[in-house]
Amino acid sequence: MRFSLFFCFIGCFILPAGVWGGALGTPLLERDENPIQIKSDKLLTDTQNRTATFSGKVTARQGDLALYADRIVVHYGAEGGNVEQVDCAGSVRIVQKNRTGSAGNAVYDNKAGKIVLTVNPKVYQGEDMISGSEITYYLADQRSVVTGTPTVRVEAVIHPKGKRNVDTSR
User: For 68-83, how does the pLDDT look when each residue is reduced to its tens digit (9 = 90+)?
Assistant: 999 999 998 887 778 8
Is 8 a member of any domain? yes
The pLDDT of residue 143 is 85
Is 113 a member of any domain? yes
Rounded to whole angstroms, the Cα distance separating 108 from 85 reads 5
CA nearest neighbour of 97 among 117, 68, 126, 123: 126
Is 166 a member of any domain? no
Is 167 a member of any domain? no
Residue 163 DSSP SS3? coil
Over residues 5-46, the pLDDT tens digits come to: 333 333 334 333 333 333 333 333 344 577 878 899 999 999
Is 116 a member of any domain? yes
Has residue 53 got a pLDDT over 60? yes
Is 100 a member of any domain? yes
Over residues 89-101, the pLDDT tens digits come to: 999 998 888 888 8
Is 32 a member of any domain? yes
The enclosing domain of 116 has a CATH number of 2.60.450.10
Which stretch, 65-69, 114-118, 149-153, has highest mean pLDDT?
149-153
User: By residue range, what is the domain housing residue 87?
Assistant: 4-157
Q: How many domains does the chain have?
A: 1
Is 170 a member of any domain? no
